[in-house]
Structures are given as C-alpha cells and as structure tokens.
Structure 1
Amino acid sequence: MNDVTAAAQHRFTVNLSILFGELPLLERPAAAAAAGFAAAELWWPFGENHTPGAEELDGLVGAFEAAGVQLTGLNFLDDLARGARGTLSLPAESERFRENIPVAVHLAERLGTGALNALYGNRVAGVDPAAQDALALENLVLAAHAAHSIGAILLVETLNAVESPEYPLVSAAAAIDVVDKVNAATGLGNAKFLCDLYHLARNGEDPAAVITAYADRIGHVQIADTPNRNEPGTGELDFEDLFARLTAAGYQGRIGLEYRPAGGVSAESFDWLPRELRGAR
C-alpha cells in the first residue's frame, strides 16, 4: 500500500499465536517489541491445558513484562491445538471452559488485558443445535460477568465456513445476534463483536458494509488479506479503504494483525506498516 494515511488513524497489535510462531512462545513478546510493537494478543496460549499452574502463568507474564509489551487481547480456552473452534457450546467440554474462565481472567488482569475472546464452538453430530446454543448463552453470560469484574469486554467472533464448516457463526449477523442476547441476559453491555475482516471476506460478505451496519457493536478488529491469510497487500482487500471506513464509523479501538507471513518470516512481513505506526499511542 502506498498511502498510509488511513492506517495512521489506528493503533495496531500483533497476534503472537500466528505471527512469530516460528519462535518459542516466551520469546515472542521480545520479538514483537524488536519489530516496534507495544501491544500484542494471544489465542489461548497453553494448548489443551485449561488450568495451567502458577509457574507457567508467571513465565508468560514475565515474558511480556520484560519485553515491555502489553497483552491487549486473550482467548478463553479455544482448543485450537486439537483442531476445535471453541469449547463453550460443547456439552462434553463445557466444564473445562467454565474452569478456564477464572484462570484466563486472572491472567488478563495481571497483564492489563481489556478484551477476552470466546470462540463459540463447532456443531456436534447428534446434539440438538438449540441445546448447544442454550449452553453457549449460559457460558457466555458467565464469561461476560467475569470479564466485567476486571473492566474487560467479551468478544464474540465470526469465522468462515470455508475453513470452519461446522462453526455456526459464519456471518456478521449471526455473531451480532449472540452479542445482543448476551447483553440482554447480563445487562452489562460488555459483549462486543470481533470484526475479523479476513473471515468476513472469506464468507463472501462485504467488510465495508459490515463496518457500516455494526460499527456501534464492534469491540475489536482483526485483519489478514484474502484469500491466503497473509499480510495486507498480498491479496484482494483494500485496507486503506477499510481503515478509512473504520475511522469514519467512529471506531477507536485496536486493529489486530492476525495473518501468516507470506514469506514465512514474521519480522519481514511488516513493510506495509511503517514502524512509527506500530506502537501504541
């Protein structure tokens, strides 16, 4: 991209579960800092372990503190290591999700994290979708209250049907419906839409139209270019236009870089974003 005017209106954060994945987890915050980033986000960083012990938690907190990088976003237990897309709507995994809530919130509180993301979970063969949705709402209400206790928001994310065909929230409208139900149930208003421009585009939605329609419900934005989920400028999306639309819509939150580096080396994938625009303001 040649014109970075629109990008300059936003603050960027780097997702350390997909970028710098070539490094051990505890080395990634320092790598992000060396690349000029002051903020980062993570999928659930402990794999299948939903209740890591103090030593593991302290190690991660120490890595962020030593690097001077703030963790601004964190997933609740997502089971991505097992190929799942969340656990909160799965009857067999619901208890693990509930046990994870206080652990994730405690970690978020220690690192000043203001947003916790709850992946909905795939449909399960032989289980009534309505029963899954009811369980999901129960668990999202618990998560929303826990997030509120530390002043954080709860994010609900749309994925795409190409890569996650069993995931039920594959449109912006579906995620917004869940957000509205959670807020109605809690009265807190802290459930927000995670607007991932890559997933929207892969679903065939118009990201610009989604921004216009749901700007007041967007709690966080994530980006990758389509169709290969690489950095901006490698695919089809007009990010200058999308950044400008976010600004015009009044979005003042962060934009998370959640892409795979096209060349395989994370530190070499940021040329599209001038270094002076990577730090928090």
Structure 2
Amino acid sequence: MSYTVNCSILLTDLPLLERPAAARAAGFGAVEFWWPFETSVPGEKDIDAFVAAIRDAGVQLTGLNFNAGDMPGGDRGLVSWPDRSQEFNDNLDVVAAIGERTGCRAFNALYGNRQGGVDAAAQDELGVENLARAGQAVARIGGTVLLEPVSGTPAYPLKTADAALGIIAQVAATGVDNVRLLADFYHLATNGDDVEAVIEAHAADFGHVQIADAPGRHEPGTGNLPLQRWIARSRELGYAGPVGLEYKASQQDPFAWVSTWSTAGVGA
C-alpha cells in the first residue's frame, strides 16, 4: 500500500516545514499539504523554503491544495466565491510552478461555501469556469485538479460524489478533461453517501483517495468504517494512486495502525 501523509492535519506538534522530515522518519516516502501559505501569491523565499523542506526530507509531494482561504475560520475554497475569484486565479500559476519544481501532479481545488446574497446557479457557473482555468493551468505539467465532497460545513454544497461529479461533467463539457473526484471516504461516509456504490461505479476514475475513521476523524481503527475493505476494492477496480492519510491524531503514535494493517496483508 502506498500512503501519503497529510502534513497539514498530522504532525501538527511540529513547525510546518519540519513535518516532511518527520513523515520520512516515521517511514513514509510521500506527503501532501493543504495550501501552506497565507496568501495566493506568497514570496519567493517562502516558496523556496517549502520546496526545500520537501526535497531535503527525501519525500515526494503527491498532493497540494489550491488556496482555500481561512480554513480554521470556516472557509472551504475560493473556486465558486465571486468576491475572491481573482485570488483563486492569481493562485493558479503559483501552484503549477510548485508542482513543476516538486513533481507534484495532483491539486485539490476546494469548491467554496455558498455565499449569502449570491445566486447558487451563478456560483456554480463561476465554479465551473474557475475549475476549467485550473485544469488548463496544471495541464501543462501533466497535472490533475481534484474536486472533493466535504462534511462538517453546511454551507459547502458538494456533499456527495454525485454532486462533485456533476460539476466535473460540466467542466468536461468545456473541453477540460483533467478534473477528477477526490474520494475522501470519511467525508463521503459522514455525509451519508453510499461509499461502496461510489467505489463500484467510479474507483477506476478516482483522482485521489483519502481516509480517516468515523466518528471522530481519527486514525483507522478508532471508528467503524470498513476502510481496509474500501481501499482493497478500489484497488481491485483500478485505483492505482496513493491513499492520503488525512485524519486528526488521537494517539501518541498516530501511525501505529499501519503495522497492524501490514500484518493483515493490506498495509505497508
């Protein structure tokens, strides 16, 4: 099994730029991040330091979010947010450049919450336009844009795989075909989606998979989701990418479960 550690939600006892090395020390060869900067267009020194932290740790950056706004404050993306659309577009070339330098080819574009006083259809029209622009921006490096259903935020409109796939189909109709579903099994299950049906219908086309257990969004084995079965079935049906570990640590060793899964023949 190929895992990639989300260093924006794990290893948070360390400064952000020390986390790739900590992931490497824990036995992982790949990491992913939410947007690690405060603005859409950070300074070159900040970008260089981020890239150096990845390189010096000897890990592969497998995923990076576009700027999604103030995540701790409740923002969940700029893609469909009219007042911040320019920020999103300003971010595109920066993200593509980081991808080019690091070899990262998967980029998560959080769709954005519904905004009061703005027509939902108008937000969706903007969302499709901006996702198409994002797809074009990363296509030059062979990149893929990921679109993710999210739980825990009522104002976020994409809560099921079908909702995200509907937007992806609209983007594809514009001629941009490198936007894919990010199947986060925790978010899908928490929102009441039929995860097994999603896997059966779409696993071969998943752009990425992420996991956390539910309830709690903690380590695999702390909840009741059949994550091992879902991952194995996704593999059987053609998903060949890494599995993102995007959960909140609740134990002293947040990766202790990996050896248990390895013993069962489904880890490592």
TM-score of the aligned structures, taking structure 2 as reference length:
0.94
8 Å Cα contact 2:35-2:65 kept in structure 1? yes
Distance in 2 between residues matched to 1:217 and 1:243, nearest whole Å: 14
- Of 60, 63, 83 in structure 2, the residue corresponding to residue 73 of structure 1 is 63
- Of 14, 22, 29 in structure 1, the residue corresponding to residue 13 of structure 2 is 22
The unaligned stretches of length 5 or more in structure 1 are: 1-9
Counterparts of 1:2-21 in structure 2, within 5 Å, are 10-21=1-12
1:168-193: CA deviations, max 9, x gaps?
0011100011111112212x421110
- Of 262, 271, 278 in structure 1, the residue corresponding to residue 250 of structure 2 is 262
- Of 112, 119, 122 in structure 1, the residue corresponding to residue 110 of structure 2 is 119
Task: Determine the structure 1 residue equivalent to 2:206.
Answer: 218
Letter in 2 for 1:170: K
Please report the RMSD computed on the Cα atoms of aligned residues, expressed in angstroms.
1.5
Distance in 2 between residues matched to 1:213 and 1:200, nearest whole Å: 14
Task: Determine the structure 1 residue equivalent to 2:48.
Answer: 58
Letter in 1 for 2:195: P
Distance in 2 between residues matched to 1:231 and 1:28, nearest whole Å: 18
Letter in 1 for 2:149: T
Q: Once the 2 structures are TM-superposed, how far is the Cα of residue 83 of structure 1 from its aligned partner? A: 2.0
Q: Once the 2 structures are TM-superposed, how far is the Cα of residue 278 of structure 1 from its aligned partner? A: 7.4
1:139-168: CA deviations, max 9, x gaps?
1010000111110111000012xx110000
- Of 219, 229, 233 in structure 2, the residue corresponding to residue 241 of structure 1 is 229
8 Å Cα contact 1:153-1:192 kept in structure 2? yes
After superposing on structure 2, the runs of 4+ consecutive aligned residues of structure 1 that deviate more than 4 Å are: 275-279
Q: Once the 2 structures are TM-superposed, how far is the Cα of residue 38 of structure 1 from its aligned partner? A: 0.6
1:182 has 2:171 as partner: yes
Q: Once the 2 structures are TM-superposed, how far is the Cα of residue 123 of structure 1 from its aligned partner? A: 0.2
The unaligned stretches of length 5 or more in structure 2 are: none
Distance in 1 between residues matched to 2:92 and 2:36, nearest whole Å: 14
Distance in 1 between residues matched to 2:83 and 2:228, nearest whole Å: 43
Q: Once the 2 structures are TM-superposed, how far is the Cα of residue 239 of structure 1 from its aligned partner? A: 1.7
Task: Determine the structure 2 residue equivalent to 1:87.
Answer: 78
- Of 31, 36, 45 in structure 1, the residue corresponding to residue 36 of structure 2 is 45
Q: Once the 2 structures are TM-superposed, how far is the Cα of residue 217 of structure 1 from its aligned partner? A: 2.7
Name the count of aligned residue pairs: 263
1:89-148: CA deviations, max 9, x gaps?
111110110101111111111110010110000001110001100111111010000111
Letter in 1 for 2:259: P
3-state DSSP of counterpart to 1:274: helix
TM-score of the aligned structures, taking structure 1 as reference length:
0.90
1:70-100: CA deviations, max 9, x gaps?
1110000111143200011111110110101
Could you say which structure has the greater relative contact order, defined with CA pairs below 8 angstroms and 6 or more residues apart? 1
Task: Determine the structure 1 residue equivalent to 2:157.
Answer: 168
1:31 has 2:19 as partner: no
Q: 1:16 to 1:278 in 2, by over 3 A?
A: farther
Letter in 1 for 2:158: L
Distance in 1 between residues matched to 2:267 and 2:254, nearest whole Å: 13
Task: Determine the structure 1 residue equivalent to 2:192.
Answer: 204
Counterparts of 1:127-138 in structure 2, within 5 Å, are 127-138=118-129
Q: Once the 2 structures are TM-superposed, how far is the Cα of residue 206 of structure 1 from its aligned partner? A: 2.3
